[in-house]
Structure 1
Amino acid sequence: MTAVKKMPNIFRMVQPQTLLLMFFGDFVLDRQVCVFSGSVIDVCARLDISEHATRSTLTRMAGRDLLRRERSGRRVYFGLTERSTEILRDGRTRIWETGAVNDGWDGTWTLLSFSLPEAWQRQRHDLRSQLAWAGFGPIQGGLWIAPGAVDAQQIVSSLGLNAHARVFTARAGSLTDVDAMVRDAYDLTALAARYEAFLDRWGGPSPLRDPLAARLTLTAEWLEAIRRDPRLPVEHLPPDWPARRAQKLFRELESAYRPPAYAIAEELLQVL
């Protein structure tokens, strides 16, 4: 893709699979249609993705149960699977319903305490990875917290660790410095850097001239910025937390790109 300014590091490698998922989320999700492979190639050309790379990505996505093939004569069409539908609906909820700014927090925390045998290094790694993905941060040892109600029990059960973990819902007592606890449990510098990078990338002249390419890239990069954000309560974050400004910019640009992007897609897409 052609950029008019240098991209921040965290957005330098938006993978073709991610961009294709954004495309299917925009134009296929909940429509019960399949898209002609040639149309997908035309869309990807606007993203500076070669035909060979597009075909390879479609094949890999079909192999990973993210897309399903359907033939009509000599033509091949691609549609969503149950797995990709679930992923895209989750992303849509994260972008449009949950959002990046937690200004309606009810004061509760989900606490998870675990103790695993020393030899269980893999299980410990898997649990920590899934907890971090779900918005948890470590307080000390085997005690992790996340703001609000999080289905930690499902994480524990999926790893077969029910006998080694306990889950609680709690509120901080008066002796607890919640601001300090948040700073200790989460890497606020790294979280803020993602939003600052998004603002740098999209806050000036558009880095992409094509509206369809711009909309798909914008959405992919916004999801990348928010996907690991635990949505910490704004009252316990530094002043002028950049997530609010970044979300406002994203929604303004998405609204501006939507009409021309959809007009282009309507001309390009052949569906079954």
Structure 2
Amino acid sequence: MIIVSDQHAPRSLIVTLYGAYGRDFPGPVPVAELIRLLAAVGVDAPSVRSSVSRLKRRGLLLPARTAEGAAGYELSADAQKLLQNGDRRMYAPPPDGDEGWVLAVFSVPEFERQKRHILRSRLSGLGFGTAAPGVWIAPARLYEETRHALHQLRLDGYVDLFRGEHLGFAPTTEAVARWWDLAALAKEHEAFLDRHGPVLTAWRTRADTPSEEAYHDYLLALDSWRHLPYTDPGLPARLLPADWPGARSAAVFRELHERLRDAGAGFVGV
């Protein structure tokens, strides 16, 4: 059996599975099917059951019966929205030209400082950089997703959102290097390339595409990739260092997606 690496937590793989294939099921995904599909990437049945329970407690999965009466789970409305937002992030083409910025300016009273921590964590998770204390910045295309996320968390009362352009005094390339930790982002892209680049190279030499192998390699690649477009918000190439690895990692993921996603669907049965 292929053992799942530490890079791929069972709970994350379940979310990735639903994002890749679960929405194509004609109804709830049976528990027995979840166990079979996660076993193919090295997750044992107890880990699947405990991870599903945690996702249920978080309100992302809802228990339901299949048409045949088997126990299963379906996505909640909130989970559907999260996956739709994820689709836009993961499969978006590279940014084309300057789009401006969205600024999130917030002030949280000291007696509610826990909300300040949640707010910072959520903005960071959306890909925002820090322009100044209490002022966060991201590409303008993230406005709608940010507005929805803050509203869902009932944090919108503490935040004002603005659209704008950077007018100086420092060059925007220098400012971007302050707003985001570009070295850390580059390392994440390089790690993806180190892990999945050789997988793509191996598939390029093959004439066949067995469904279980395609499913295995695609699910692991997607599980690695789906976090990156949130860590890295997709800054314009002209603002990034030369030979930025983000373009290469995105190209590797896109080719793996095109080669393996539909072939893997045969193993899933959708």
Residue 19 and residue 109 in structure 1: after superposition, are their counterparts in 2 closer, same or farther (change >3 A)? same
2:46 aligned to which of 46, 52, 55: 52
Aligned pair 1:105/2:98, yes or no?
yes
Distance in 2 (CA, whole Å) between partners of 1:73 and 1:200 is 44
1:230 aligned to which of 189, 211, 233: 233
How many residues in Structure 1 have an aligned counterpart in Structure 2? Answer: 257
* Larger relative contact order, structure 1 or 2 (CA cutoff 8 Å, min sep 6): 1
Aligned pair 1:142/2:142, yes or no?
no
Aligned pair 1:181/2:175, yes or no?
yes
Partner of 1:86: 81
Cα deviation for residue 181 of structure 1 reads 0.8
Partner of 1:124: 116
Higher mean alpha-carbon deviation, 131-140 vs 246-255, is at 131-140
Structure 1: gaps of 5 or more residues? none
Aligned pair 1:260/2:263, yes or no?
yes
- Using structure 2 for the length normalisation, give the TM-score: 0.82
Aligned pair 1:22/2:16, yes or no?
yes
- The superposition leaves residues 98-148 of structure 1 with CA deviations (integer Å, 9 ceiling, x where unpaired) of 35x333332x22223334445543232222222222332222222222221
Distance in 2 (CA, whole Å) between partners of 1:165 and 1:36 is 41
Distance in 2 (CA, whole Å) between partners of 1:34 and 1:154 is 26
Residue 114 and residue 77 in structure 1: after superposition, are their counterparts in 2 closer, same or farther (change >3 A)? closer
Structure with bigger helix share is 2
Residue 184 and residue 36 in structure 1: after superposition, are their counterparts in 2 closer, same or farther (change >3 A)? same
Residue 60 and residue 72 in structure 1: after superposition, are their counterparts in 2 closer, same or farther (change >3 A)? farther
Distance in 2 (CA, whole Å) between partners of 1:210 and 1:85 is 27
Distance in 1 (CA, whole Å) between partners of 2:259 and 2:7 is 24
Structure 2: gaps of 5 or more residues? 204-211
Q: Which amino acid in 1 is paired with 2:234?
A: R
Distance in 1 (CA, whole Å) between partners of 2:41 and 2:10 is 9
Partner of 1:202: 196
Distance in 2 (CA, whole Å) between partners of 1:219 and 1:2 is 17
Contact 1:62 1:69 in 2 (8 A): no
Aligned pair 1:114/2:117, yes or no?
no
Q: Which amino acid in 2 is paired with 1:104?
A: G
Partner of 1:218: 221
Residue 47 and residue 173 in structure 1: after superposition, are their counterparts in 2 closer, same or farther (change >3 A)? same
Q: Which amino acid in 1 is paired with 2:118?
A: D
User: Which secondary structure state, in structure 2, belongs to the residue aligned with residue 227 of structure 1?
Assistant: helix
Partner of 1:77: 72
Partner of 2:209: none
- The superposition leaves residues 231-251 of structure 1 with CA deviations (integer Å, 9 ceiling, x where unpaired) of 222211111111110011111
Cα deviation for residue 31 of structure 1 reads 4.8
Distance in 2 (CA, whole Å) between partners of 1:91 and 1:235 is 25
Contact 2:29 2:66 in 1 (8 A): no
Cα deviation for residue 21 of structure 1 reads 1.9
Cα deviation for residue 29 of structure 1 reads 1.0
Residue 52 and residue 160 in structure 1: after superposition, are their counterparts in 2 closer, same or farther (change >3 A)? closer
Contact 2:2 2:40 in 1 (8 A): no
Identical residues among aligned pairs (%): 28
Distance in 2 (CA, whole Å) between partners of 1:167 and 1:155 is 13
Distance in 2 (CA, whole Å) between partners of 1:74 and 1:111 is 49
Partner of 1:33: 27
Residue 155 and residue 77 in structure 1: after superposition, are their counterparts in 2 closer, same or farther (change >3 A)? closer
Cα deviation for residue 160 of structure 1 reads 4.8
Distance in 2 (CA, whole Å) between partners of 1:264 and 1:156 is 38
Partner of 2:207: none
